[in-house]
Structure 1
Amino acid sequence: MDSQTAYAVACKSGGGSALAQVFDDLVRTETRLYNHLNDRLRQAHGIVTSQFELLRHLRAHPGTRVADIAETFAIGIGATSKSLDRLERSGWVRRTPNPADRRSSLIELTTEGARLAGEADVTFTRELAALLGDASSPDDLVAAGAFLARLRASLEAGRVGVPTG
Structure 2
Amino acid sequence: MTDLAQVFADLVRYETRLYNVLGDRLRAEHGITTSQYEFLRLIGSRDDYRVNDLAHEVAVAVGAISKGVDRLEAAGWVSRRPNPANRRSSLLALTEAGRRLLDEATPTFEAGLRTWLADPLTGPGLDRLAETLGVLRKTVQDARAGTPTG
Question: Normalising by the residue count of structure 2, what TM-score does the alignment of the two structures yield?
Answer: 0.97
Q: State how many pairs are aligned.
A: 150
Alignment partner for residue 45 of structure 2, among 60, 69, 83? 60
Alpha-carbon distance between aligned partners in 2 of 1:124 and 1:61, rounded to the nearest angstrom: 20
CA RMSD of aligned residues (A): 0.8
Q: Give, in angstroms, the shift of residue 63 of structure 1.
A: 2.3
For 1:38, the equivalent position in structure 2 comes to 23
Alpha-carbon distance between aligned partners in 2 of 1:104 and 1:85, rounded to the nearest angstrom: 14
Alpha-carbon distance between aligned partners in 1 of 2:138 and 2:112, rounded to the nearest angstrom: 26
Identity %: 51
Unaligned runs of 5+ in 1: 1-9, 12-17
For 2:129, the equivalent position in structure 1 comes to 144
User: Could you tell me which amino acid in structure 2 is paired with residue 49 of structure 1?
Assistant: T
Q: Give, in angstroms, the shift of residue 134 of structure 1.
A: 3.4
For 1:130, the equivalent position in structure 2 comes to 115
For 1:5, the equivalent position in structure 2 comes to none
User: Could you tell me which amino acid in structure 1 is paired with residue 68 of structure 2?
Assistant: S
Higher helix share: 1
Alpha-carbon distance between aligned partners in 2 of 1:32 and 1:98, rounded to the nearest angstrom: 37
* Pair member with larger Rg: 1
Contact kept? 1:58, 1:108, Cα under 8 Å: yes
For 2:149, the equivalent position in structure 1 comes to 164
Q: Give, in angstroms, the shift of residue 130 of structure 1.
A: 1.3
Alignment partner for residue 69 of structure 1, among 34, 45, 54? 54
Write out the 4+ residue segments of structure 1 that deviate beyond 2 Å after TM superposition.
Answer: none
Q: 1:133 to 1:72 in 2, by over 3 A?
A: closer
Q: 1:133 to 1:73 in 2, by over 3 A?
A: closer
